[in-house]
Structures are given as C-alpha cells and as structure tokens.
Amino acid sequence: MKVFVLDPINAKGVELLHKEAEVVLWDDPAAAGWHGEADGVIVRGTTPLKEADFAAAARLKAVSKHGTGVDRIDLDAARRNGVRVMNTPGLNAEAVAEMTMTLALAAARRVPMIDRMLRSGQPVAREDFDGSRAGGAQGFWGKTVGVIGMGAIGRRVAAKWSAAFGMTVLWFDPFVPEAAGGDLKGERITDLDQMLGRVDLLSIHAPLTKQTKGMIGGPEIALMKKSAVLVSVARGGIVDEDALYDALSGGSLFGAALDVFEQEPPAADHPLFSIPTFVGTPHIAAGTVDSREHTAIAVARQLLDVLEGGKGSNILV
C-alpha cells in the first residue's frame, strides 16, 4: 500500500508509516502525482481536498487529517467516492489552550508593543503601561471571560482561566446538548449578544461553518466593553477582520489577538498589523513538540488501521 503525506508532520508519525507502507512525503516531487497512486493520504490544514481530487483518486481509500478542522476537505465528495475521512480531535487541545492564554495576556499587558519599543530604542514610560495613566495594561484576575465553543479546547480554556485567575466563566455553544451543559464550567449563555457586553475577555474556539462565518462582526464587537480583549485561535473568517481593524483603530476595543486569518498566511501589509494593540501569530497555537508528536503518531496509526482492513477511529465519513 502507498501513503502520501501531503503536508509536513512530525518525524515520529513518518517513522511509523515507513514500517507498514511505501511512503511519499510532501517535499518529494512525486507527491504531485498522488491522485493516481495513493491508497491513503495524510493532510494538515494546508492542502485542500476537493471534488476533483476525490474523483481523480481511484485507488484512494482513506484520508487522515492531522488536527481537528476539516473545512478544507469536501466531505460530501469523499462520501460519494467511498473514501473514509478521519481527524484527530483533542490531541492538541492542551497546546491550543496554553497559546490562547499566551495571546490574551500578551494583548492585555501590551507585551509585543513594549518589546518593539525597546528594540527600536524608543523611550518607554512605565506610567503609560502600569495603570498610572489612562489606557494602561489590563489584568484578568477576578474578571469575566466569555468562551465561544465548548469543545475540548474551549473547556480547557474555561477551566484554566477560572482556576488560575479566578475569572467568572460565561460560555456560548448551541451545539452542546442541554443535558451535558450542566457538567461544564461556568454559566451557559443562550443569546450571544447578551454575553458580549459582560465579558472582559472573549475567547473564540468554534469551528468554521456557514453559521459561524462572520459571527463576530461590527455589531457584535460594538456590544463589547472598550476595555475588553478579543482572542481567536479557531478559524479565520469567524471574526470579521475589517470590523476588528475599525474597532481597534477607533479605540472601541482595548486589544485583540488572532492566530488565524481568513487568508493564510496573511499579507505583510494586512491592516491589522499596523495596529499596535493587535497581536498576530500564523496559525501555530497547536504547535508544540509534544502535541505534534502525539498527533503525528495518531494520524498515522488510524490511517494504517483502515488500509489494513480495520475500522479506524474518529470517523467523519
């Protein structure tokens, strides 16, 4: 059997694949011909799999997605062509939760802004950032965090802010069954607009769907406190980037951080990068050595299982 790894994964997963299959990696020119030869494919978030890909891949039996999001895989096309699609949910949840807190604190305490000032030789007045003057850095102790999306990542984020910072947790997720909601940290909010005005930190962890695309736009941001911070490590397109720029440049939002953008990688001249109170990272929230090793091994194991006649795991199609 022949496996094509179309996007980079950790070496531990590659080693496992080599023990059971012929493997073609992303940097091999032969990878471009995967449609005619692949029994199995591994992708991350870079390579899309569309209708034409599935139609052209006559031998393809299974796709194993490194990570959770499958918005770049046409699941209906996979189903029509008899291809099994799997993902690896939850394995990077801890890393993403840690990065969520990192970005929120960086934006609230103005860390990147101060760092840039120091490196460029600009004078830094402590009073501009320590709260002695208006507009100083924000803290989160004892304040309120609103979490959108209470999957594996959202739940960890809520628990961490509550335990480490004594924050009140509000959460919004219409897809959590009513019976399960009582087991989650914090207060469930059924109307997103009612939550936005109460939070000091908005943390977004929803998948990108037709329902969530643009769900945080100008009207929603306008409901938030001027002292609030917005963070998204979910998917680009959930937050309206133009509306976020308007809010930050107009001073109606204290700060924001995005690990995800509608166009990835974002252009160097993206308007948000001109805003000192904005922090951006290139979709790296899940990227620690530990999480990458675990996910690479899992994505390889479940693909090999299916190709060897097993049922696989985390089946989406």
**Residue positions annotated with a catalytic role:** 235, 264, 283
Give the pairing type, strands 2-5 and 22-24: parallel
119: enclosing H helix or E strand: helix 111-119
Cβ 239 vs Cβ 258: under 8 Å: yes
**Beta partners for residue 229, in sequence order:** 201, 255
CB-based contacts of 248, cutoff 8 Å, min separation 6: 255, 256, 272, 275, 277, 278
- Dihedrals phi, psi of 166, to nearest 5 degrees: 60, 30
- Dihedrals phi, psi of 253, to nearest 5 degrees: -145, 135
Asked if the peptide bond before residue 276 counts as cis, ω within 30 degrees of 0, the response is: no
- Find how far residue 245's CA is from the centre of its chain: 20
- Dihedrals phi, psi of 4, to nearest 5 degrees: -110, 125
The dihedral through the CA atoms of 58, 62, 65, 71 has a sign that is positive
Cβ 184 vs Cβ 212: under 8 Å: no
Cβ 218 vs Cβ 193: under 8 Å: no
**Beta partners for residue 169, in sequence order:** 145
Nearest to 258 by CA among 195, 206, 209, 203: 203
DSSP 253: S
Give, in order, the Cα–Cα distances in Å from 191 to each of 171, 175, 196, 211. 10, 13, 9, 14
